[in-house]
Structure 1
Amino acid sequence: MTGFRGDAMTSPTYNAPRRYFVDGGGRRVLIGLTPEETFEFERLDSEQAQVAPDAGERRRLELYEKHEGAWRAWMAQSRTERREGFNLY
Structure 2
Amino acid sequence: MIDQRHNAPRRYFVDAQGHRVLIGLSLGETAEFEALDVAVAQALQIVAETGTGKGAAAVDDVRWLELYSKHEGAWRVWIARSQAERTQDSGFVNYV
Sort the TM-score into its range (normalised by shorter chain).
Answer: 0.7 to 0.9
Are 2:21 and 2:27, in contact at CA under 8 Å, matched by a contact in 1?
yes
Question: Aligned partners of 1:45 and 1:15: how far apart in 2?
Answer: 24
Is contact 2:39-2:59 (8 Å) kept? no
Quote the offset at 1:54 in angstroms: 5.4
Matching residue's letter, 1:70 = A
Q: Report the alpha carbon displacement of residue 16 of structure 1 after superposing the two structures with TM.
A: 0.7
Distance in 2, Cα, partners of 1:54 & 1:20: 27
Q: Does 1:56 align with 2:60?
A: yes
Supply the distance in 2 between the matched residues of 1:70 and 1:53 (Cα, whole angstroms): 29
- TM-score calculated relative to the size of structure 1: 0.79
Aligned-partner residue type, residue 66 of structure 1: K
* Gapped regions of structure 1 (runs ≥ 5): 1-12
Q: Among the aligned pairs, what percent are the same residue?
A: 56
CA displacement 1:28-74 (0-9 Å, x = unmatched)? 00000000000000000000111215561110000000000000000
Whole-Å separation in 2 of the counterparts to 1:43 and 1:74:
24
**TM-score of the superposition, structure 2-length normalised?**
0.74
Q: Which has the larger radius of gyration?
A: 2
Unaligned 5+ runs, structure 2: 44-55
Paired with 1:20 and 1:53, the residues of 2 have a C-alpha distance of: 29
